[in-house]
Amino acid sequence: MKRRHWVRLDNASNIFPAARSDVDPKVFRLGAELDHEVDPGLLQEALEESFERFPLYHAVLRRGVFWYYLQDSDLQPEVRAEAEQVCAPLYQADRRTLLFRVVHHRRRVSLEVFHALSDGTGALWFLTDLLSAYTRRRFPGEAPAGGGDAEQVRPGASERPDPPPARIGTHPGAQAAEEVHELTQDSFAHYFRGRRRRREPSSHEQDFTREAAPAVLTVEEAEDPEDAWPEEGDQDSRSSRPPRRRIHRVRGTRTPDNRTHALELSMPAAPVLALAKAEGVAPTMFLTALFFEAIRRTDESAHAGATMAASVPVNLRQFFPSTSARNFFATIRVEHTFGQGDDAPGAVARRLQEAFSAEATPEALERRLHRLIRVERWPLARIVPRPVKDLLLSLINQANNRSLTVAISNLGRVTLPAPAQAHVGRMQFHVSAVRPQFCAITHDGQLTLGFTSPFVETAHVREYARLLTGAGVEVSLAAARTTEEELAGVDP
C-alpha cells in the first residue's frame, strides 16, 4: 500500500485553479528552436532524466475540502508531437494528469506548464535541464564546458529593477536542479513567516516536500494594489491618482474554439536594447510603453484621457535568493494616462520605469508579502471551504482583470549550458491570456516577443511590429493558425 506524499497548494497559488477558465487555462509555454529536426526518441530519454531530478514535476493537483494540494504520483511523462493549440488546458478537475507536457514540432521543443505548479523561472530550469540532457545525447562528442560561461552573464544585479533575469535565466538547469535538492527550508517560510521546524520525511518524499513546499507569493491577483501599498512612501502616488479611474480595456471577438491566439515576433536583441538605452530606460519598460502605444493606435475607444495599466511580474528570487522551482514572484502594476503631457513611447517608458522602480525594492516587496501571508494565515480564511474560496478568488481575479489593459512578462536573457547553448537558437515564451499580453525572452542574441490574446484581432501586434520596423529593427513573424478562415483547409 503506497501512501502518497502531499503538500498543500498555498493560498497564493490557489488563484490559478480558481481563475482558470475555458478562455485562459493558466498554462504557459517555454520553447526552444534547435538547429535540427528534433529526435523524439532522444527527447523522451532526456525527459525521463530531467523528470528524475525534478520531483516537483511528478505532482498532480487534487482538491481537498479547504485547499488544493499537490500529491506525488507514479505517472510518467511522454513527449508528443505537437497536436494541440498553444497553451492548451492541462489541469482538469477529477482527471489526474501531470501538470506539464513536453511537445515537439519540427525543430522546436516546447514545455507547457500549469501555472499552479511552477513559474517561468522554475519552468526555465526544467527546460534548461531537458535541453542539456537532450543535446548531450544528440551530440555526444561535445563535452559540456562546465557552465563557466553561463555564470558570467548576470544582468540582474546592476540593471535592477528591470525584471532582471538575474541568476534565473542564466542559471544552468542542472545546477539549479542540484541546488533544489540541497534546500532544507522553503523560501516562503524562510522569508515571510519566520522560521519553523520541519518534519524530516524520507528520500523521495523528502525531495517532493522540499520542491513542492510553497515558496510563493503570487500577489498578482490577490489584492487591490491600492490596499497593498499603505506605507508612507506611497502617499504621493496615491494622492496624485484620482480615485476610481476607469482603465482602458481591449475588447474583441473571441477565437472560435477559445484557443489562445499566439503570434511571435522575433528580432535581433541588440537594436532593441540600443533603442531602450537611448531613452534611458530598461528594456521591459520600453517594450511596455510600445505596447501601450500600439494599443492606443489601434483602438478607437482609447481616447485622449485613457489610462492604460499593465501588470509586470517580478521574480522574487533576485531579492530573496531561492532555488525553489515553485511559483515565487510578485506582480507590480504600472499605468499611464494619455493626454497629460508627453505621450511619446520614450517619455511613457521613463515614467513607467519610475513607478516600477519605486515598487520593485526588497523592502516594499517584503512589506507587501508579509501582509499577504498574514491574510493567508488568518484563521477565518483557513476554514472557508475550498469551493467558496475558489469563488471568492475568481471574483477577486475578475475585479483585478478590470483594472488591467495588458500584461507583460520578461524572462530576460537566457544562457544555456554547453552543449545546448550551441544548438539552440531562438527561444519562445507564451502565456495563456484573458487580455492581450506579451512575453519576452532573449537567447542567442535573438529577442522573441510572444503575443497572446483571447481575441482574433491582430491589429495591436501589427502596430507593434510597425513601431519596431519603423525604428529600423528587422522583425520576423511566426503565427499559429487560429481563426476559422485561417483553418479553413485543415481537416479535423
Partner 1 sequence: MRTCTDCDLRVEGDWERCPLCGSVLHGAEPGGQPEPSPYPAVPLRFSRRRVLRVLTLTSLGVIALSFLAQLLFRHDAESLGALRTVWLGVVATWLVVLMAVSKRRNLAKFIVYLVLAAGGMSVYWDYLTQWSAWSLTYMVPILCAASIVGLLITVRLIRMELADYVVYSGLTVLLGLTPIVFLSLGWVGVALPSVICGALSLAVVVLLLTLRGGAVRHELATRLHL
CA distances from 366 to 10, 219, 316, 363, 472 (A): 18, 11, 10, 5, 41
Residue 167's φ and ψ, nearest 5 degrees, are: -75, -10
Closest CB to partner 1 among residues 119, 457: 457
Nearest approach, Cβ of residue 277 and partner 1 (Å)? 23
Nearest approach, Cβ of residue 147 and partner 1 (Å)? 28
**Can you tell me the distance from the alpha carbon of 341 to that of 129, in angstroms, rounded to the nearest whole number?**
48
Nearest approach, Cβ of residue 175 and partner 1 (Å)? 30
What 3-state DSSP class applies to 298?
A: helix
Closest CB to partner 1 among residues 189, 479: 479
**Can you tell me the distance from the alpha carbon of 464 to that of 482, in angstroms, rounded to the nearest whole number?**
19
Nearest approach, Cβ of residue 490 and partner 1 (Å)? 5
DSSP state of 247: B
How far from chain centre, in Å, is Cα 402? 20
Nearest approach, Cβ of residue 403 and partner 1 (Å)? 28
Closest CB to partner 1 among residues 370, 462: 462
Cβ-Cβ contacts under 8 Å for 267 (sequence gap 6 or more): 446, 447, 449, 468, 473, 474, 475, 476
Give the chain's radius of gyration (CA, Å): 22
Cβ-Cβ contacts under 8 Å for 197 (sequence gap 6 or more): none
Nearest approach, Cβ of residue 363 and partner 1 (Å)? 32
Nearest approach, Cβ of residue 414 and partner 1 (Å)? 18
Residue 332's φ and ψ, nearest 5 degrees, are: -115, 140
Q: Report the amino acid identity of residue 312.
A: V
Nearest approach, Cβ of residue 326 and partner 1 (Å)? 18
Closest CB to partner 1 among residues 71, 357: 71
How far from chain centre, in Å, is Cα 196? 29
Q: What's the count of helices (H) and strands (E) in the chain, helices before strands?
A: 19, 15
Nearest approach, Cβ of residue 374 and partner 1 (Å)? 16
Cα angle 152-156-160, degrees, rounded to a multiple of 5? 150
Is residue 87 within 8 Å of residue 28, measured between CB atoms?
Answer: yes
List the grid coordinates of 35: 538547429
Closest CB to partner 1 among residues 3, 244: 3
Q: List contacts with partner 1 (CB under 8 A).
A: 1-4, 6, 8, 33, 64-67, 69, 71, 81-86, 94-96, 105-108, 256-259, 262-265, 382-383, 458-459, 461-462, 465-466, 469-470, 474-481, 484, 486-487, 490-492
Closest CB to partner 1 among residues 78, 363: 78
Residue 380's φ and ψ, nearest 5 degrees, are: -60, -40
Is residue 73 within 8 Å of residue 59, measured between CB atoms?
Answer: yes
Closest CB to partner 1 among residues 102, 309: 102
Closest CB to partner 1 among residues 433, 465: 465
**Can you tell me the distance from the alpha carbon of 162 to that of 67, in angstroms, rounded to the nearest whole number?**
34
Closest CB to partner 1 among residues 60, 365: 60
Task: Indicate the angle between helix axes 283-298 and 459-470, nearest 10 degrees.
Answer: 120
Nearest approach, Cβ of residue 141 and partner 1 (Å)? 28
Closest CB to partner 1 among residues 72, 359: 72
Q: Omega of the bond prior to 419 within 30 degrees of 0, cis?
A: yes
Closest CB to partner 1 among residues 299, 359: 299
Q: Are strands 60-63 and 27-34 parallel, antiparallel or unpaired?
A: unpaired
For residue 140, count other CB atoms closer than 10 A to its CB: 9
Q: Report the amino acid identity of residue 342.
A: D
Nearest approach, Cβ of residue 362 and partner 1 (Å)? 31
